[in-house]
Amino acid sequence: MSTTYTKKQVAELIDGVLDWETVRRMLFMPKDPLRFSMYIEVLQERAKWEDKIVLPLAPHLYIVEDKNGDIVNKCDCGYVFGPYQENWKLNALIYVRDSVEKFNQVYPKLMSPDAEWQVYREYYCPECACQHDVEAPVPWYPVIHDFEPNIAEFYKWVGLEVPKGIAA
Amino acid sequence: MNKPESISGGSTTRKSILYNGKTLAQNRADMYNTSKETGHYDGLTELKLKKSDPITFEKIFSKLRAGVVNARETAKKIAASPIVEQEGELCFTLYNTAGDCVCTSTGIIIHVGTMGMCIKYMIENNWEEDPTVNPGDMFTNNDCQIGNVHPCDIATIVPIFHEGKLVAWVGGVTHVIDTGAAGPGSMSNGQVQRFGDGVQITCRKTGINDKPMRDWQHEVQRNVRTPKYWILDERTRIAGDHMIRDIVEEVIADVGVETFLTFTSEIIEDGRRGLVKRINDILIPGKYNTVAFVDVPYMHEDVHVPSPFAKVDTIMHAPCTITVKPEATWRLDFEGCSRWGWHTYNANPTAFTSGIWVMMTQTVVPTERINDGSLFASEFRLPKGTWTNPNDRRTAHADAWHFLVSSWSSLWRAVSRGYFSRGYLEEVNAGNSNPCNWMQGGGFNQEEEIHAVNSFETAACGTGACAMKDGLNHAAAIWNPEGDMGDCEIWELAEPLLYMGRAIKSNTGGYGKYRGGMGFETLRMVHNSADWCMFFMGNGYMNSDWGLHGGYPSATGYRFEAHNTGLHKRIAEGKSLPMGHDWNPDEPDYENHLEPGAIVKRDSQCITTEEIFENGDLYLNYLRGGPGFGDPLDRTIENIEKDLNDVVLLEEYAIKIYGAVFTKDAEGYYTVDADATRARQAEMRKERLSRGTPVKEWMKGERQNILDKKASKQVQQMFASSFELSQPFLDKFRAFWSLPNDWLVTEKELGVPAFGAKHHMDLSQMPDVKTVVLVEE
């Protein structure tokens, strides 16, 4: 048996202002199957563009279906990072912290990594400068494609119609 | 004649100890094979007992589960070790006749699998015939080659019989304070092979007729530094095991042995189905690619190892692809991991697969129904020869957690991507801190006894940020969900180390829209000890906790120790003392309260081996924070202000990270100017655009670095080690960077010793040993 929540509560969860009692219930009780639909609905209402949200990837990053039916990675600001199957990071801006001075902008020197061992790679939206991700690998490490969702299967799991542009 | 008369060449045939008349090995093989063939545990496509009599089914579960939890809570009071008594580092688990977990208590539930593996090892190696398995027996194991995490986790296994037939096994495990390794403390790191890793007990029969054997007790007590704790820990385990055995007898008396045996299979299939349902409910099918690293800085002068081939800087590499399948099972593939090494951070497949559940029960399957069913819904691939699955029987494991927790933090981050995309923001965790430092040492304590210490304050590090709130400060550890830093007063009883301060550690949680939880720090002064040594164990040059969706990794560790401090003189003279916070290590203050001539070590070398500490010397135990979530520029003004007023954020970094513009009144209260801060943040966004480079442009430069082999030796060694073990990883690397097909970096060209790379000998090559393998290798 699962508990159900209102769209308002889901919106408050997104905004980080949902009361703790409800959050606790969300944690303790079986998951509410309608969450995804409500979540998408709230985010869609807030979007500055008309494209249909298929899957949120990060607080300001989505997989969307555009007006041509193409499925792309898109920023809140409207910047498109390319087809959804591709790693959006390859179309972002990158800033690599690889020296004592650069790390010291983030942490005290003794509380940050040694650039001989590790670097921070910050990925920004080229248009709005949102920091969508920070990697902390060793130098040389390939850019990580964090998540390759099987959207077709997922939409079946949640009982939604699979967007046409999604490969089966 | 001294020859026993009853044995006449070869083994004697004993009557089966199982109701079904099979040998233990045949019984297990049948269960395992049927499970693999049908995809259902023990071939149970239908849960007949649960379906026909759900009340009885739940009643049995409740009684057994309550029994194991109660046994843990009661038995731990027998222990004197604060690790067990304060931190709850113990666990009791009930197994069916095949050694598969039926139910487990709370606590360090990594041992669901490790003790199960011990039972399976006894089954597969015919312990039934020799040394025999009888009512009242006890078996002890801490052998990491079989499946234990590290030697300090000692398991006592008791077979449970009914009417002379085996119906179950029960195991109890405690984390002891010392195992008699080369260095004191339960997770020491000076040794580089099994042969210095502490006492090793391989499923040994250590008790008959419910009593530990005298020869065992005499032998083992003198092999450890802390016999008092050892004895009471063993009594804890035995008491818990016997309490659970009593419960099983009660259940059988209540429902009958046939129903009980049916239950012990059905509950595991129920557990398998539970994981499948939960994956379906909470995750998104697809591939989650993640990776983790952690440093092994052994070239430093404060790391003393017995073997020259161990004196190398290396990096642990743990890439993982989690594939959530359409049928809601999953596969975790660790292709590309680096090789095992000459240090104590190696793991083995069971530590890995079983250990993952200690983390997953805090997120994917937060249920009391955790049992081996979860394993049957999961596929693990741990390539042989990597640090997750060593192919050499010499490996040391005392601090396997250094690598395990580092690699698991990335798994939590990975599944959190699924939670976020699905809208279950309350479940998101940006990762977890690398729970360290491990403060350890030994010598003569305040009671003038040979002693060892291992502080478990690490059980309360900062947690990762959530997608709708900050992480918890000094709250938990990935390996023990019941996080507790313990009471200062109790630690001072157990350790000759006075508290000079215990405080939240500012700036340790990763920044973000929601920040990671803060760690804490305790400053300890050595007091009333003799011939005393201490050492550090944690991450310093690297960080394994990355942050999620734009949040920053948490702070790395550093070391502070001071010798020849003159503190006794200063105390006598009433002078100022170093106490409480080490606010900003770049602007040190402790040093202002030491006598001239004090020797201070303040650096990133967070792994050291035994160093002499005199009374009055100082040791900073800094427990790490958790990583952050989301772009820091999305953090609310109120939260930035709160961080400043809670003194968890240094002014300098409120400005640098959040663009905060603030005032501080005479009483030290901060007020953040919202408009001015937002204006500054707009400038910071422009600065990002101006300093950022298109990724594809940057890749050209990084590719050239690779072609020129421009990277530190330890980074190149890590890649060389992974390339040698994994052609797929090498192929992917070459493809990503468009490298020539013959491009390669090898350990040979780096000039670093690579003992074990070419020549190794696996446990399976030992005579009369049958290893148990439950993962793809």
Pick from B311, B307, B397, B413: which is nearest to B359 by CA? B413
**Mutate which: B715, B732, B743, vs A, most A CBs within 10 A:** B715
Contact A39 B511 (CB under 8 A): no
Identify all chain B residues contacting A14, using CB atoms and an 8 Å cutoff: 425, 468
What are the pLDDT digits (tens) for B119-134? 999 999 999 999 999 9
How many CB atoms sit inside 10 A of residue B327's CB?
Answer: 13
Predicted confidence (pLDDT) at residue B397 exceeds the cutoff of 90 = yes
Question: Looking at residues B353-364, what average pLDDT do you find?
Answer: 81
Name the phi and psi angles at B411, rounded to 5: -70, -40
Band (B12; pLDDT cuts 50, 70, 90): low
> Contact, B49 vs B57, CB < 8 A?
yes
Residue B515 to residue B503: CA distance in whole angstroms: 18
B430 CB-near residues (< 8 Å, 6+ apart): B413, B416, B464, B465, B466, B471, B510, B512, B514, B516, B545, B546, B547, B548, B549, B551, B626, B627, B628, B629
> What is the distance between the alpha carbons of residues B85 and B495, in angstroms, rounded to a whole number?
15
Does pLDDT of B8 surpass 50?
A: no
Contact A131 B632 (CB under 8 A): yes
For helices B674-691 and B637-645, give the axis angle rounded to 10 degrees.
Answer: 100
Q: How far is A22 from chain B (nearest CA, A)?
A: 10
- Residue B9 is predicted with a pLDDT of 45
Strand B378-381, strand B520-526: pairing:
unpaired
pLDDT of residue B85: 80
ipTM over 0.90: yes
Q: For B252-280, what is each residue's pLDDT tens digit?
A: 999 999 999 999 999 999 999 999 999 99
- Whether the CB of A82 is below 8 Å from some CB of chain B: the reply is no
The token duo for B32 is 């395992």
Q: Compute the distance between CA of residue B279 and CA of residue B285 in angstroms, rounded to an integer.
A: 9
Tell me the three state secondary structure of residue B591.
Answer: helix
B317-333 per-position pLDDT tens digit: 999 999 999 999 999 99
Q: Residues 6 or more apart from B351 whose CB is under 8 A from it?
A: B110, B114, B144, B147, B148, B149, B150, B397, B400, B404
CB contact under 8 A, B423 and A96: no
d(CA B741, CA B744): 8
The mean-pLDDT minimum among B172-186, B311-325, B666-680 falls in: B172-186
> Would you say residue A28 lies in a domain?
yes
Is A139 an 8 Å CB contact of chain B? yes
Sequence-separated (6 or more) residues with CB below 8 Å from residue B60 = B251, B255, B259, B260, B263
Q: Which of B285, B551, B389 is nearest to A55 (CA)?
A: B285
Q: Do A131 and B421 touch (CB under 8 A)?
A: no
Question: Do the domain assignments include residue A168?
Answer: no
Nearest-neighbour CA in chain B from A118: distance (Å): 6
User: What Rg, from alpha-carbon coordinates, does chain A have?
Assistant: 19
Instruction: Classify residue B260 by its DSSP letter.
Output: H
Amino acid at B454: N
Q: Which among B715, B756, B773, B759 is positioned nearest to B339, based on CA atoms?
A: B756
In a domain, A22, yes or no: yes
> Of all residues in chain B, what percent carry a pLDDT higher than 90?
86
- Interface probe for B, chosen from A134, A145, A162, A166 (most Cβ of B below 10 Å), is A134
Q: What are phi and psi of B605, to 5 degrees?
A: -80, 90
Q: How many CA atoms lie within 13 A of B176 on its CB side?
A: 36
Residues on chain A touching B549 (C-beta within 8 angstroms):
58-59, 61, 132-133
The counts of H helices and E strands in chain B are 20, 23
Test the B interface: residue of A19, A138, A166 with most B CBs within 10 Å = A138
Q: How confident is the model at residue B774 (pLDDT cuts 50, 70, 90)?
A: confident
Question: Nearest chain B Cα to A90, which residue?
Answer: B695
- Domain for residue A111, yes or no? no
Contact call for B286 and A95, based on CB within 8 A: no
DSSP-based three-state secondary structure for B597: coil
The helix (H) or strand (E) run that includes residue B394 is none
Give CA–CA dist B42/B27, Å, rounded: 11
Reported as a single tens digit per residue, the pLDDT across B694-703 is: 999 999 999 9
Residues in chain B with CB shorter than 8 Å from the CB of A153 are 285-286, 326
Q: Search chain B and give the residue with CA nearest A89.
A: B695
**CA proximity to B407, closest of B393, B428, B388:** B388
Q: CB–CB of B284 and A154 under 8 A?
A: yes
Of B280, B689, B711, the CB nearest to A129: B689
- Checking if the pLDDT of B202 tops 80, the result is yes
- B520: tokens are 């804490």
Which chain A residues are Cβ-neighbours of B515 within 8 angstroms?
Answer: none
pTM of the model as a whole = 0.95
Q: Which of B293, B586, B657 sits opposite A138 (nearest CB)?
A: B293
Dihedral sign for Cα atoms in the order B717, B720, B721, B722: positive
A30 is a domain residue: yes
Residues of A in contact with B688 (CB under 8 A): 93, 95, 122, 124, 129, 131
- Quick: pLDDT tens for B83-121: 888 778 899 999 999 999 999 998 877 788 899 999 999
Tell me which chain A residues have a C-beta less than 8 angstroms from the C-beta of B737.
140, 142
Residue A154 touches chain B, beta carbons under 8 Å: yes
User: Is A32 within the bounds of a domain?
Assistant: yes
Q: Which residue type does A18 have?
A: L
Residue reference for tokens 């890649």 = B719
- State both tokens at B271: 């557990």
DSSP secondary structure code for residue B461 in this structure: B
Residues B177-195: tens digit of each pLDDT: 999 999 998 899 899 999 9
Q: Nearest Cα to B537, choosing from B626, B436, B620, B417?
A: B436
| Total domains present in chain A | 1
Q: When comparing pLDDT for B186 and B743, which is higher? A: B743
Query: What's the CA gap between B117 and B157, in Å, rounded?
Result: 11
A53 contacts chain B (CB < 8 A): no
Query: Contact B285/B272 with Cβ under 8 angstroms?
Result: no
Would you state the pLDDT for residue B13? 62
Q: Is B549's CB within 8 Å of A133's CB?
A: yes
DSSP letter string, B722-748: HHHH-HHHHHHHHHHTT--TT----HH
In B, minimum Cα distance to A56 occurs at: B421
**A131 touches B: beta carbon within 8 Å:** yes
- What whole-number distance in Å separates Cα of residue A36 and Cα of residue A24? 19
**Nearest-neighbour CA in chain B from A141: distance (Å):** 8
pLDDT value at position B694? 98
**Contact flag A31-B586 (C-beta cutoff 8 Å):** no
Confidence band (pLDDT; 50, 70, 90) for B578? very high
B330: Cβ–Cβ under 8 A, 6 or more apart, which residues? B279, B322, B323, B324, B377, B378, B379
Compute the C-alpha angle A57/A62/A66, nearest 5°. Answer: 150
Regions of chain A with pLDDT less than 70? 1-2, 168
List the one residue out of A32, A78, A17, A22 whose CA is nearest residue B514. A17
Q: Which amino acid is at B591?
A: E
* Helix, strand, coil fractions of chain B, as percent rounded to 5: 35, 20, 45
Per-residue b or e along A134-148, where b marks 16 or more CB atoms closer than 10 Å to that residue's CB: bbbbbbbbbbbbbbb
List strands edge to edge, sheet with B153-162.
B101-104, B90-95, B165-175, B153-162, B138-141, B204-208, B211-212
Could you tell me if residue A131 is inside a domain? no
Distance from CA of A68 to the nearest CA of B (A): 23
Pairing of strands B378-381, B330-333: parallel
Q: Look at B56 and B80; give whichever has higher pLDDT.
A: B56
Q: Does a structural domain hold residue A18? A: yes
**pLDDT digits 0-9 by tens, B636-657:** 999 999 999 999 999 999 999 9
| DSSP structure class, residue B462 | P
Whole-Å CA distances, B14 to B129, B167, B501 = 7, 17, 63
Owning domain of residue A6: 1-46
The 3-class SS string of B127-182 reads CHHHHHCCCCCEEEECCCCCCCCCCCEEEEEEEEEECCEEEEEEEEEEECCCCCCC
Q: Does A55 touch chain B (CB under 8 A)?
A: yes
Contact A58 B603 (CB under 8 A): no
Mean model confidence pLDDT for chain B: 94
- Measure in Å the smallest separation between the Cα of A62 and chain B Cα atoms: 9
CB atoms within 10 A of CB B54: 11
Pairing, β B611-612 against β B330-333 = unpaired
Torsion-angle region of B574 (φ positive above 0: left; ψ -120 to 50: alpha; else: beta): left
Which candidate, A133, A125, A146, places its Cα nearest to that of A75?
A: A125
Please report, for residues A98, B144, B542, B712, the alpha-carbon distance to residue A116 in angstroms, rounded to integers and kept in the order given.
Answer: 8, 33, 9, 6
Query: CB-CB: which of A13, A94, A128 is closest to B695?
Result: A94
B10 pLDDT more than 50: no
The predicted model gives B288-310 an average pLDDT of 97
Contact A110/B at CB under 8 A: yes
Q: Distance from B50 to chain A by nearest Cα, in Å?
A: 18
Say what percent of chain B tops pLDDT 70. 98
How much is the pLDDT for B2? 67
